[in-house]
Amino acid sequence: DAGITQSPRYKITETGRQVTLMCHQTWSHSYMFWYRQDLGHGLRLIYYSAAADITDKGEVPDGYVVSRSKTENFPLTLESATRSQTSVYFCASSESAYQETQYFGPGTRLLVL
Binding residues (CB under 8 A) for other proteins: these are 31, 33, 35, 40-45, 48, 50, 56, 58-59, 90, 94, 97-99, 101-102, 104-107
CB of 94 to other proteins, least distance (A): 8
CA distances from 69 to 49, 51, 72, 78, 92 (A): 11, 9, 9, 18, 17
Residue number with CB closer to other proteins (49 or 85): 49
Residue number with CB closer to other proteins (14 or 53): 53
CB of 77 to other proteins, least distance (A): 21
Residue number with CB closer to other proteins (6 or 14): 6
Helix, strand or coil, per DSSP, at residue 83: helix
Residue pair 37/90 in contact by the 8 Å Cβ criterion: yes
CB of 102 to other proteins, least distance (A): 7
Q: What distance in Å separates the CA atoms of residue 33 and residue 48, rounded to the nearest whole number? A: 4
CB of 74 to other proteins, least distance (A): 13
What does R_g of the chain's alpha carbons equal in angstroms? 13
Number of neighbours of residue 6 by Cβ within 10 angstroms: 20
Residue number with CB closer to other proteins (14 or 95): 95
